[in-house]
Amino acid sequence: MSLLSLADIDVRSKRALMRVDLNVPLDTDGRITDDTRIRAILPTLRHLLDHGGRVILISHLGRPKGISESLRLKPVAERLSELLGRPVQTAPDCIGEIATRQAADLKDGECLMLENIRFYPEEEKNDPDFARRLAALGDIYVNDAFGTSHRAHASTEGVTRFLTVRAAGFLMQKELDYLRGALTHPKRPLVTILGGAKVADKIAVTERFVELADTLIIGGGMAYTFLKSQGEEIGASLLDSEHIEFAGGVMERAKTVGRAFLLPIDHIIAKSLDVSASVQTVKRIPSGWMGLDIGPETQTLFTRAITSAGTILWNGPMGVFEREAFAVGTAMVAAALAAATDRGAVSIIGGGDTAAAVASLGLQDRMSHVSTGGGASLELLEGRMLPGVAALER
């Protein structure tokens, strides 16, 4: 199946209903603290507006239970207007008489942002009548919200039943090209780095890449379950006791199929996350201590594998990177990926915390691709069908 490209559509004077993911972080005063997701949609939005399209943006913000004044999209529209260099109108609702009139009154090259789609529970329920009313606002549908494409919601799947012209935006297409490319025709060697806290979150992707990758690297909190499966003492480190057997089985599978499987060989530890807590670097974790980052020998081990890679796929930090004392491992891995990319490797960052870490280090522009979808990227890499993508296929 293929996706319709924006280049194949005459959008002039057409009302383009465009699903975007502008679920940006806000501080306590409602100010945007990271506008990465807003910037990511600019190429698609500019294309539509510059070609005479009349764009109606659909997005969610946060997890509202009904209408929430603090989660209205006006600040997002204002920031988008600044970045776009032209006005972005706002609607007080996402359906209804006023929104319908505003959408109908748009002129070529104008943009309207509907109110937070998740103010309506019908969105996540994929209610057919709600989807129909939403679809009635537009003539064509463009999905540039890869981060929500793993959900069959009214604005990602339901509306496509009522609009015959459905296209992927440039961001959506880029996400699919990079992530699917890592699965089907990666530049070898393929090195996959998995981190974060929970083994349970990455079972399927671990199983898949132990078959596909040349080298599989495990770091972060999830590494301690793998170490425990090999009989190592992990002290009070994070342990997913329900998946010890799984971890051991994956390592056995790696041996069987001849894949390199790297785990931490030293650790940065503490008894708590308290700022005043004593921090040590050790090879064996004593009782009562927690492994909170990879140690310097592990950093060297992982960096060596990254340096020789043709493609690197990274999902999950190496430690509690939000704390300075435990951020070095993540920073070293990020720097190694940036250097490898500079030498011609393809680097793909799997979104979520990993993308945030790379951004905090100012290295996002030195990566080949930083995904905007944490859960969506993980599900795609697992080999699962994404409803929002399937709804665009022809």
How is residue 65 annotated by DSSP?
S
| Annotation says 188 is catalytic | no
DSSP class per residue in 110-151: -EEE---GGGSHHHHHT-HHHHHHHHTT-SEEEE--GGGTTS
Q: Dihedral through CA 28, CA 30, CA 36, CA 37, nearest 10?
A: 120
Rounded CA separation 134/117 (Å): 10
**Residue 24's closest CA among 48, 47, 45, 41?**
41
Query: CA 52: distance to chain centroid?
Result: 31
What is the helix (H) or strand (E) element at residue 306, kind and residue range?
Answer: helix 296-307
Q: Which positions ≥6 away from 41 have C-beta within 8 Å?
A: 20, 21, 22, 144, 169, 171
Strand duo 311-315 + 369-370: pairing: unpaired
Active-site pick, 352, 373, 374, 388: 352
What is d(CA 126, CA 157) in angstroms, rounded to the nearest whole number? 8
Whole-angstrom Cα distance, residue 190 to residue 308?
A: 9
Single out the catalytic residue among 74, 86, 198, 366. 198
Cα 151 vs. chain centroid, distance in angstroms?
Answer: 13
Tokens of 320: 């509690």
Q: Has 14 been annotated as catalytic?
A: no
The catalytic position among 181, 249, 310, 375 is 375
61-83: burial string, b at 16+ Cβ within 10 Å, e else = beebeeeeeebbbeebbebbbee
Residue 51 CA, distance from chain mean position: 29
Instruction: Report strand pairing: 267-270 vs 111-113.
Output: unpaired
Active site residue 375: yes
264 closest CA partner among 235, 227, 229? 227
Choice among 14, 19, 37, 133 that is catalytic: 37
Which residues carry out catalysis? 37, 198, 352, 375
